[in-house]
Structure 1
């Protein structure tokens, strides 16, 4: 599973270009093309009460997007990466998914929203819908974030995201696909980490012998994942945690100084995921690190 073609939807928020630049290292492992995409919200050009349409406003927004994108294209071209500009009127989530399907991309990259409090999410409702419905690996990019850690406000810049990735596995098929994607990044990884969490729901009510069996089995699986990474020339280290899964993944990511978190999305019903969320979605919401979700 190589990343050869990226879909990069943007609202031209602050640091969006910096986020794009942080992905260009993927050229070393096969990146060939970036699709630069802007959705003009339908409500920005629709004049619903009178049944009209603001054609001049649409043309202005299209022209602004084109000028900005052409500047970005220059930076991509200097790196030897092809690019394409697409600007459409519509609804962000269905439009992005339709373009991803049409262009057959290997990765969708979405930005984070501005976090306004220590307990609030880095991920907006559109992004949650997108990652719940996407058939493509989706990276929630968080180039610069502010968050509370040990009672202090911390600012973090995520500009070398593939250096120390943490793969959080639940042994599912999506986790196996996430491992394959991680293996394809050999050449830009300094060190990889693999973790598994024995969750509260699993451990609750078990006697010591059964818990020991699960622990032993989990360690063996972690070693197997690390062996597979090492066979691809990637230095890998296993970590086993226990407790509330999203919080444990975030705790481990901080202790090992990970640069990003990679997870398979769960096998839950898609509609359930949109409304109730999943472990991978909660990690994307809560962690200050870029989060790559693999369906």
Structure 2
């Protein structure tokens, strides 16, 4: 099977248009169309349904596109390993983690990484959905639970707990609760128990909801919860790791917290030895060690 035709087919299937694929491939629409027709003739099948709004893959086209996607991922991995054979740390690295951890803990520390490796380009993908690392949806993941896939290299970074925080200004204006029953006089800022989040956090929120609450503000990620707390809107359910970077926040009801949540760094086995991943992993581990030391010296 002609590799060049497969490359063109993959671009057309991905773009859903001969014109858009041609722009990506720097080929004319007619040249792309000829290659697709030639591929269909060689396979004796129709790969696309053609209509006014673009192209839709046939069942046979879906099968071929699935194969070319796997080929593309494998080629990208091979290219990454070839580039990583160099001593210098450079190029693109796709890192996925949760919105809360990525925006509150990781992002503020990235200037140190860029200072050390100025030619490293991070694509930071912050979302609650767990991306498929073996399928190369990302290169590295930091997850709030141990990855279940066997073909991943993983390292446990630390454990976190969900706790209650408020600003001094909010406490001065509204008082500080001494018991859980005192929450009836306050606004609780948290994620909905139905939102995607660590199970320990959802469990803590359910326990708090069992008490009579004055008011609530629901946000679908911890970064939003933090912004509500910093705006003096109420008492927030937040991960304990923010206390180092936001030392002015006051912990409320210190006896109330969630169970431990493990934080893991993981990447595909095939990328073991990648200079970019090694550099990122070592940087994160160093920052975690510094974070732990600071927590021991200044416990909340």
Query: Considering the TM-score relative to the shorter chain, is it more than 0.5?
Result: no
TM-score, normalised with respect to structure 2: 0.24
Could you tell me the TM-score, scaled by structure 1's length?
A: 0.24
